[in-house]
Amino acid sequence: MATLIAVYRNLPKGFLRLTNGSNTRLREYKPCRGGSFNILANERKAIPGSQAIAFAVPPGSSRSFSTERESPPKSLSFSKINFDDLEEKLNIFPGGTLIIRSDHADRVPGSVAQGGDAYMSSEGMYRHLNLLENLVPRTVGLNEAGTRLWIDTMFFCVSAMLSDEKRMVLNLGQRVPPVSVPMPGQARSLEIAGRIDYTALTMNFHEHHSFITNSLFQFIKRQDPSGLFVTEAKQEEVPLAQQVARAVAEMYAPAKYLKKNVIRGALTNGRDWIFLILYLNEDGGGGTYLQSRPIELQVSSSYPYSVLPPEPDIIAGILAYWMERSFVDLDENDWFYSSNELVAKSVKL
């Protein structure tokens, strides 16, 4: 049985708007006997998954009906964001390059030592990566499911690198509550929403149980742990650097929701990693981001295949360091420095 959802009396004309977010259709209705409009819920079938919203035009009105005046804020999913969207709709622009420090190789032994003899220490990480290289065909390793095997291995190693006082919680496919952001040059706002592929949180050991049982973003906002936001590359044949826009959007939404001015993250296909820092503008609308060059895992050319050092240790070391400093700017002890520092130094000279 159809359900009555709206009744309008004593009006000469009415409209029903059916929308599912990407498609909108209007239907005009003449009044029933007595001047009423009976708009039924089964009209929603006109557009699958749509919601019905009823409108009426008052007597004597000469203006045409406009859906724009009544429409809700536009929405944009992470998965659909490209570089044009990033700049034109979110007001986010590239702001420079993350340059790995020249002494990064000297930091590797310290990074290796952090894992000690834990289950997934540096040694265990290489053993597992070598297993994957000789177990999972490379054609499979390029797809989404295969990519996660390599990403998971890196995070397992990172969890072993934390100090005794720290613990880690790894959330996969976590939904960020929708956030409204201003659109450049427009009075209307834009709603962005979606899922973050990897949210790696770190907290004191006595807080660990709480995060294991509840890691919703609402809880994260109240507890304010440190964390890192990592995007998995979804387009197999598209170069990694051309997928950065979606990764930046996946950082922008939690930064807005958690009210952070700086946020760190990464984009990876499992074998190659691009590290990112996003700085939000002071007015809350948009920002700029720094992007590193890809750090690529190197694999032996002869069978049986093996992953070569030191790139896995470098990647794990960066992830561990960044995870505890996700919401602060670069410092002199970081693995990277900004290309803007070089510009500033040259200006002084």
* pLDDT single digits (tens) 180-234: 998 888 878 899 989 999 999 999 999 999 999 988 999 999 999 999 999 999 8
pLDDT at 66 over 50: no
Percent of the chain with pLDDT over 90: 58
Comparing CA positions, the residue from 315, 202, 309, 325 lying closest to residue 263 is 325
pLDDT higher at 29 or 178? 178
- To the nearest 10°, the Cα dihedral for 226, 227, 228, 231? -150
Strand residue runs (E) in the chain: 4-9, 13-19, 24-29, 36-40, 51-57, 74-77, 92-100, 166-182, 189-204, 226-232, 262-268, 272-280, 287-292, 295-296, 298-299, 307-308, 336-338
Return the pLDDT at 313. Answer: 95
Contacts of 212 (CB under 8 A, 6+ apart): 169
HSE-CB at 61 with a 13 A cutoff on CA atoms is: 12
pLDDT at 113 over 80: no
pLDDT at 282 over 70: yes
Q: What is the C-alpha to C-alpha distance for residues 171 and 259, in angstroms, rounded to an integer?
A: 20
pLDDT tier at 342, thresholds 50, 70, 90: low
State the pTM of this model.
0.77
Residue length of the chain: 349
Return the pLDDT at 215. Answer: 82
Q: What is the C-alpha to C-alpha distance for residues 218 and 196, in angstroms, rounded to an integer?
A: 15
pLDDT tier at 240, thresholds 50, 70, 90: very high
pLDDT tier at 4, thresholds 50, 70, 90: very low
Q: What is the C-alpha to C-alpha distance for residues 235 and 246, in angstroms, rounded to an integer?
A: 11
pLDDT at 236 over 50: yes
pLDDT at 279 over 70: yes
**One-letter amino acid of 191:** E
Task: Give the sheet arrangement for strand 51-57, strand by strand.
Answer: 24-29, 13-19, 51-57
Return the pLDDT at 73. Answer: 53
pLDDT at 30 over 80: no
pLDDT at 285 over 50: yes
CB of 14 closer than 8 Å to CB of 7 = no
CB of 317 closer than 8 Å to CB of 105 = no
Return the pLDDT at 141. Answer: 53
pLDDT at 272 over 90: yes
pLDDT higher at 340 or 225? 225
pLDDT higher at 34 or 335? 335
